[in-house]
Structure 1
Amino acid sequence: MRFHIISLKTAFYWLCLLFLAACEEPYNPEVIESSNKFLVVSGFINSNGPTTILLSRTQNLSESSAPQKETNATVTVEEENGEKFPLMEIAAGTYSSNALALNPAKKYRLFIKASGKEYASEYVTVQQTPAIDAVTWEAASDGLQIKVSTHDDRNSTRYYRWEYEESWEYLSFYHSVIEYVNGQIMDRTPDKMINLCYRFNNSTSIQIGNTLKLSQDVVSNFPLVKVPANSDKLDRKYSILVKQYAQTKESYEYWEALRKNTESLGSLFDPLPTQLTGNIRCLTSPEEPVIGYVSVSSVTEKRIFVTDTELPPSYRAPSPACSFDTVFLGEEAAYFGGGSNIPIDRIITNDRVLIGYGGASKPCVDCRTLGTTAKPAYWE
C-alpha cells in the first residue's frame, strides 16, 4: 500500500472544494426578504461652509432598484441650547444649508423629521481640520499615484478622513468642423465645437488614516488613489481636488467599520461583517435602527493638475474602434438625418470639387456623449 503525504495547505484546499461542491441548494435567510425601510443619513455638518445631507431608506438585498430617497423631510442643524439652522431640499432626498460659521466652542447635532417620525444625532464638538500640506503624484509603472500629506502642530487631530473630486480634459477621436442642421451641411462656429470636453468623478471608496502610533501628528504621503496608466483620464490634463476632514475617535471607528463591511469582504480570511453603530437615534421609536454617523468639522482643500506631457509615453488609453465613413452628395439625409452619425469634414477633389462628406458614429465625434464642453471655472 502506498501513502501520499500532502501539506496542510493542500488538504485545506481540497476540503474547501468538497465543501463548496456539497452546497447545491441556495440558502435564502429570512433577513433578505424582511421588511425594512430604515432611515439612512449620509453627510456631515460643515462648520465653515454649506452643509449637505442625503436621506434615503434601506432596502432588501434582493431588490435591484436604487434606494428610495427620503423626500419632504425637515432637516435642521441645532446648536446645544442655541441657534437652529434649517436645510432646504435642493433635490430629491438632498438637503443643503447656506454657508455656516459655527462656534468651535459649542456642540451641534442634526435634527430630522421624516415620515411622521423624529430623529436626532448626538451633540458633537466641532473638529478643526488642519490645512493640507501637499497633494503630490508619482508616475509608477502601473499608474499615477496620488498622495496627500498633512500635520497638526497641536497634536490634537490624530484621526483623518479624505474625499476627492476628479476632473479631466479629453478629445473626441475625430474633430468635426461641420454640422448637419435642418437638412443642410454648415460650418461649425467656435461655440458649437464638440471635440474638447470635460468629465468629473467623485470618490466612492473610504479613505481614512490616523497617527496614533507616531510621536507627532504628521501624515506623510498617504496613498489616496491610483489612476491606471491606461486610463483616458490622463490623455490630456487631469485634476484632483482633495478634501480633508478631522475626525473624532468615534467617527473614525464608524468609518473603519463601514470600510471593512463594504470593501474587505469576499474571501475566507476577510473580517466578518459587523453591525454599524452610529450616533443617530429615532426619538419617536427608540428601538428603530438608524444608519449613519453625523460629525461636525471644518474642511480643508487642495487641488493639483497633471498634464500628459509630464507623464511617461507609455501612459496611453486604448484607441476606440472608430471607422471613418464616406458619404456622397445626396446621401446626407440618410446618413446624418437620424443623429446617430455626425459629419466630420467635406471631401473635395484636387480640382476643388465637392464630392461628399466624411462622417462617423456619434461617440467617435461628439465628446458630449460622455462629458460636457463647458470648461470648469477652476481649469488652468
Structure 2
Amino acid sequence: MSKAFWTVFFLVGLLQACRTPFDPEVASQASDFLVVEGYLDSEGKASKLKLSRSAPLDAEGPFVAETGATVTLNSASGESYLLDEVEDGSYLFEANVSEEQSYYLEIVLRNGERYRSTEMRPIVTPDIIDADFLLDEEGVEVFITTQGDQFADDFLWTYDETWIYRPRIRVPYIYDAAIGNVRDRREGEHIDLCFKNEESPDILLETSSRFEEQVVFRQTITEIPRGDERIMERYSILISQKALEEDAVKFWEILKKNTEDIGSIFSPLPSLIGGNIFSVDGLDRPVVGQVSLGVVRQKRLYIDLVDVSPWNYLDPEFNDCVVEQEPVLSRFYDPVFVSGGVLPARAHIPEGGTMVIGYFPTSRRCGDCTLYASPIKPDFWEDE
C-alpha cells in the first residue's frame, strides 16, 4: 500500500480519537417562541387555530400547547368573533363571515403578551372537481383534480384519514363477575370494531398556473402501500383544499423545505420562517406562524377492502395470536377471566353434547381493539 494511504489512515484515526461531543449554547429566546398555525374557514365549517410554544432543543417533545389564550378574529367594520379553546392549545372557529371585508387575528396570551396578524381578505377557493383513487401493484393512490382561477392560483391540501380497525381474533363473549359466568356481549360492550384516525403529516402545495388552463389534474394526496392496515376493511379520507395568498405560499414553501430537508419545523431560526403574525408589544418577542382566511373545499372518499382485493393485510405483531386449544372450564372462570387479560373467545361444547361447559381463551391484546383504537363510530361515518 502507498505511503499516502497510510498517512490518510493515520489522520482519520487521529480525528476519531479526538472527537468530543458538541453541545452548542442556544439563547433561551431562540428556543422559546410562539407558534401559530391555522386556516380559518369563512363559510362556517369548523376550523381550528393551534397555538404552541417551541421547546428547548434538549426537550423530549418539539412543542408545548399554549393554553388559556384569548383569540378573536376582528373585521374592518368592527365585528369580533371569539375562538373557543376546545383542546389544549386548539381554538375553534365556526363563523360565516363576509368575503367582502378584511380581517385581522388578535391573540392575548395568559401572561399578557399580545400578538396579531396582518390584514387578511378571505380567498374563495375553487371547488374540487374530482376525488378518486387508483389501484396498482404497489397499492392505492388517492388523488384529486381541481382548477385555479385569477383569484386562487396556489393551493394547500390537508387530509384526515379514518379507518375501521379489527382485532386479530373476534371475541363475542364477556366474563360477568356479577353473575360469575360468561355471557354474550351486549350493545356497548363489543370490542371487535374500532376506528383509527390520523391527520396528514405532509405539506402538499401546488400552483395551478403551471398547468394548461390552470387545471391541476390528478394531484396525488396520499399513497397507501399494498397490505397497509388502513384498508383492512373500510377506509375514509376527507380532503381539504385551501387557496393561499402569495405571502402564505412563501411561508409554506419554506416550512416544507425545512421539514423535509431538516426534519423539524423548529430547526431554522424564527426569522427565517416568518409568517403573518407579529408581536404587538415589540420585536424582541419572536413568533412563527401563518394564519389564512378563506373558503375550505372538502371531499370525502371511501375505499372498501372489496375495491382493492386481494390486499393481504397481516400485522406480524399479532402472528402469535391464537385461540388456545385447552378450554377453561366453568369452575375456573373467575381466576382466569376476572382480570380481563384473558378473554373467552370460543364456546366449548363437548362432542355429542348441547351444553357449553367452558370457553377456549385468547389474550386480550389479540381480541380487544380498544387497546389500539377508539370504539366510538365517528358521526360522519357511512357504512355503505
- TM-score grouping bracket, smaller chain normalisation: 0.7 to 0.9
Separation in 2 of the partners of 1:20 and 1:205? 39
The match for 2:332 is: 331
The match for 1:42 is: 37
The CA deviation string for residues 145-193 of structure 1, in whole angstroms up to 9 with x for no partner, is 11111113x3431100011111112322222222111132112235433
How far did 1:322 drift? Answer: 0.5
The match for 1:7 is: none
Separation in 2 of the partners of 1:215 and 1:156? 16
Contact 1:164 1:203 in 2 (8 A): yes
- After TM superposition, the structure 1 stretch with the greater mean CA deviation from structure 2, 31-40 or 245-254, is 31-40
The CA deviation string for residues 12-32 of structure 1, in whole angstroms up to 9 with x for no partner, is xx9xx8899578212121127
Q: Could you list the runs of 5+ residues in structure 1 that have no partner in the other structure?
A: 5-10, 267-271
Q: Structure 1 residues 151, 191: closer, same or farther in 2, change over 3 A?
A: same
Q: Structure 1 residues 26, 2: closer, same or farther in 2, change over 3 A?
A: closer
Separation in 2 of the partners of 1:32 and 1:324? 58
Match of 1:107 among 102, 105, 116: 102
Q: Structure 1 residues 18, 105: closer, same or farther in 2, change over 3 A?
A: farther
SS at match of 1:246: strand
TM-score, length basis structure 2:
0.87
Separation in 1 of the partners of 2:338 and 2:189? 18
How far did 1:315 drift? Answer: 4.0
The match for 2:25 is: 30
Separation in 1 of the partners of 2:301 and 2:81? 34
Contact 1:260 1:273 in 2 (8 A): no
Q: How many residues align?
A: 364
The match for 1:170 is: 165
SS at match of 1:260: helix
Q: Could you list the runs of 5+ residues in structure 2 that have no partner in the other structure?
A: none
Match of 1:194 among 191, 195, 200: 191
Contact 1:45 1:77 in 2 (8 A): no
Contact 1:122 1:280 in 2 (8 A): yes
How far did 1:77 drift? Answer: 0.2
Q: Structure 1 residues 34, 279: closer, same or farther in 2, change over 3 A?
A: closer
Q: Structure 1 residues 249, 342: closer, same or farther in 2, change over 3 A?
A: same
How far did 1:210 drift? Answer: 1.0
The CA deviation string for residues 258-316 of structure 1, in whole angstroms up to 9 with x for no partner, is 111112237xxxxx957201111111122211110111111010011111111141442
The CA deviation string for residues 106-152 of structure 1, in whole angstroms up to 9 with x for no partner, is 11111011121111000011111111111111113222111111113
Please show how residues 24-173 of structure 1 align to structure 2 within 5 Å: 24-31=19-26, 36-49=31-44, 50-65=46-61, 67-97=63-93, 99-114=94-109, 115-152=111-148, 154-173=149-168
Match of 1:255 among 248, 252, 273: 252
How far did 1:240 drift? Answer: 0.7
The one-letter amino acid paired with 1:45 is L
Q: Structure 1 residues 281, 214: closer, same or farther in 2, change over 3 A?
A: same
SS at match of 1:258: helix
Q: Structure 1 residues 34, 45: closer, same or farther in 2, change over 3 A?
A: closer
Separation in 2 of the partners of 1:341 and 1:32? 53
Q: Is the counterpart of residue 373 in structure 1 residue 370 in structure 2? A: no
Contact 1:52 1:96 in 2 (8 A): yes
Q: Is the counterpart of residue 357 in structure 1 residue 359 in structure 2? A: yes
Contact 1:195 1:366 in 2 (8 A): yes
Contact 1:157 1:217 in 2 (8 A): no
Q: Structure 1 residues 150, 35: closer, same or farther in 2, change over 3 A?
A: closer
How far did 1:358 drift? Answer: 1.2
How far did 1:59 drift? Answer: 0.9
How far did 1:333 drift? Answer: 1.9
Separation in 2 of the partners of 1:209 and 1:233? 26
SS at match of 2:135: strand
- After TM superposition, the structure 1 stretch with the greater mean CA deviation from structure 2, 52-61 or 36-45, is 36-45
The one-letter amino acid paired with 2:245 is T
Q: Structure 1 residues 22, 336: closer, same or farther in 2, change over 3 A?
A: same
The CA deviation string for residues 325-378 of structure 1, in whole angstroms up to 9 with x for no partner, is 232332222221111122112211013254421121112112222223333333
Moved over 3 A (4+): 1-4, 17-23, 32-36
Contact 2:181 2:330 in 1 (8 A): no
TM-score, length basis structure 1:
0.87
Match of 1:308 among 305, 310, 318: 305
Q: Structure 1 residues 143, 342: closer, same or farther in 2, change over 3 A?
A: same
The one-letter amino acid paired with 2:130 is A
Contact 2:329 2:357 in 1 (8 A): yes
Separation in 2 of the partners of 1:31 and 1:3? 44
Separation in 1 of the partners of 2:88 and 2:251? 26
Q: Is the counterpart of residue 181 in structure 1 residue 183 in structure 2? A: no
Q: Structure 1 residues 75, 204: closer, same or farther in 2, change over 3 A?
A: same
Separation in 2 of the partners of 1:21 and 1:150? 55
How far did 1:2 drift? Answer: 8.2
SS at match of 2:331: coil
The one-letter amino acid paired with 1:362 is R
Separation in 2 of the partners of 1:70 and 1:43? 14
Separation in 1 of the partners of 2:18 and 2:296? 50
